[in-house]
Amino acid sequence: MNRMLAGVALASAAALMAATPAQAAITQAPAKPVTAVKKQLVPGKGVTFTERTTLDSGRMRAVFVRSSGTYQFSRSGLAASDITGKLNIKASDLADLGEGSMFQSLAKPERTIRIGTTSYLSGSVWAELLPSGKTWYKAPGGPPAGFTGIFGQPLNIVEPATLKTLFKNAKPATGGYTGKISVRDLRKVSAYYRASSPAKPSAKTLKSQITWRLSVNAKGLPTRLVTIVPGNALAASDGAGEKMIVDTRYNGWGGKVSIKAPAADEVTTKLDGGTGDEQESAENLDLFNLLK
């Protein structure tokens, strides 16, 4: 299973880079989060989250990525983010893929700091490509959560336009709301989603429907968001009976947050690429096309 997941990680990196039923009738809808979240959008404030992504092939199901992070707000939405993601695999699971450190690095955490639209990437495969003495790669317009971000939560509820669009067709459910949104509509309103999934989608992908369920507290603030993404919405999948389930939990709404760019002397704007096996591994992963 873990070796299969490692294979999916490689294929997906390449593609990226080129509740319980109600027991009684609902008598009153829970507070809507659109207004509640908007009130939270104060500079210097934010929210933290933890996340688990599960892949379901129809025959088997397994946790694939675990992530955690912090969003820092601006008056209009998202000002900055700090996200760490890790594939749910060990180095020993990658033995069949090659002996190079590039492959082994897939078992290590990846961290992405994003200030505005500029990403700073560190750890995992990036560590193998950085010049000596540098720990961060600066990528203007880069992905919000690195290469693992393609498996992250596609619906960023901190974006007012995204949340507003979700609630155009939302339905009340026990403890929250449910709904659907097409990839086409999501790409139109969400800069976060476009940055996380830069690969040009096919016509079939654009029609794909992402199903979601949002739980809120008494104030209308989101506490949990579960999305089901069909396989044909993922660039690395043919979609035959496959789906991705992303479960995100939110905590600490309105807490003080200060996310800063890494120290300048730790940052580079050039990737080394390594030599020999490392260079070949990077080309196989198509990492150099992620940030073009």
Instruction: With beta carbons less than 8 A apart as the criterion, state whether 248 and 51 touch.
Output: yes
Of 105, 53, 117, 50, the residue nearest 81 (C-alpha): 117
pLDDT per residue of the chain (292 residues) written in tens, 0 to 9: 444 444 555 455 444 444 323 333 344 566 789 999 999 999 999 999 999 999 998 888 999 999 999 999 999 999 999 999 999 988 777 776 665 667 788 889 999 999 999 999 999 999 889 999 999 999 999 999 999 999 999 999 999 999 999 999 999 999 999 999 999 999 999 999 999 988 888 898 999 999 999 999 999 999 999 999 998 887 555 566 789 999 999 999 999 999 999 999 999 999 876 554 444 444 444 444 445 4
Pairing of strands 209-216, 267-268: unpaired
- Burial, 135: exposed, middle or buried (Cβ in 10 Å; 0-12, 13-18, 19+)? middle
**Cβ neighbours of residue 81 closer than 8 Å, sequence gap 6 or more:** 69, 70, 71, 72, 112, 113, 114, 144, 145, 259
- Angle 181-184-185 from CA coordinates, rounded to 5°: 50
From the list 220, 122, 115, 214, the residue with the least C-alpha distance to 171 is 214
Buried b (16+ CB within 10 A) or exposed e, 141-165: ebbbbbbbbbbbbbbbbbbbebbeb
Query: How high is the pLDDT of residue 1?
Result: 47
252 CB neighbour count, 10 Å cutoff = 13
Distance from the first to the final alpha carbon of the chain: 32
